[in-house]
Amino acid sequence: MTRSLLPRGLPALTLLASLSFSGAAFAHGPSPVGSVAPEDDYAEDIQGNVPGASAIEGRLMAPCCWTQTIDIHDSPIALSMRHEIRRRLRNGEAPEAIQASFVDRYGSKIMAVQESSQLKNVFIGLSVIMGGAGIAAAMMIGRWRKQSASKDAAAKATPEPTRDQWDEKLDAELKELDKE
């Protein structure tokens, strides 16, 4: 009988992986967080105490590589942009003004979804298609229910057929076979 080593080795493998990842985090030295913003601001930012910050961060691209939005990008400039957004929101600045200042600073390329993008039209088209499919599905289900209700009513309305001599003969033969 062969047993798999995976169930017994899984806790050890998990522990080893977690230790190697935690060691890798300390191997790169101090985080650039302290150089970008004070520690107390950073702790407040991590907890998400600034409403509206994540919406702005999800709409702005990281200007270091232009591949990810700053809410998920992990670079010093993206981190400083997140801190700046949260600081400006805490000071009472409007989200539209903050976004406009980043567009002025970096150009329209900073926006994750460009003004000329057809993404809005795709969303509207998919919404119409999905709404139509939902209506069609509801109509089909209604038709199926109506058909099954009419079949049930028809089945209840028809009387049971009367038994004839052949039914009696068949029942008698089956009883004889059961006795054997």
Burial class (CB within 10 angstroms; exposed 0-12, middle 13-18, buried 19+) of 73: buried
Between 96 and 36, whose confidence is greater?
96
Asked if 79 contacts 27 with a C-beta cutoff of 8 angstroms, the reply is no
In a domain, 180, yes or no: no
Supply the pLDDT for residue 103: 93
What is the CATH number for 63? 1.10.8
In a domain, 143, yes or no: yes
Q: What SS3 class is residue 2? A: coil
Residue whose entry in the numeric block shows the structure tokens 């994540």:
54
Does the model's pTM come out above 0.75?
Answer: no
Residues 35 and 105 in one domain: yes
Burial class (CB within 10 angstroms; exposed 0-12, middle 13-18, buried 19+) of 140: exposed
In a domain, 26, yes or no: no
Residues 58 and 103 in one domain: yes
Question: Does residue 79 have a pLDDT over 60?
Answer: yes
* 20-35 per-position pLDDT tens digit: 444 444 333 333 443 3
Between 174 and 9, whose confidence is greater?
174
Rounded average pLDDT over 111-133: 88
* 34-48 per-position pLDDT tens digit: 334 444 444 444 555
Supply the pLDDT for residue 12: 53
Q: 70 lies in which domain range?
A: 31-110
Supply the pLDDT for residue 127: 95
Residues 38 and 103 in one domain: yes
Residues 149 and 102 in one domain: no
Residues 106 and 35 in one domain: yes
Which residues, at least 6 apart from 56, have a Cβ–Cβ distance to it below 8 Å? 85, 89, 95, 98, 99
Supply the pLDDT for residue 155: 75
Tally of structural domains, the chain: 2
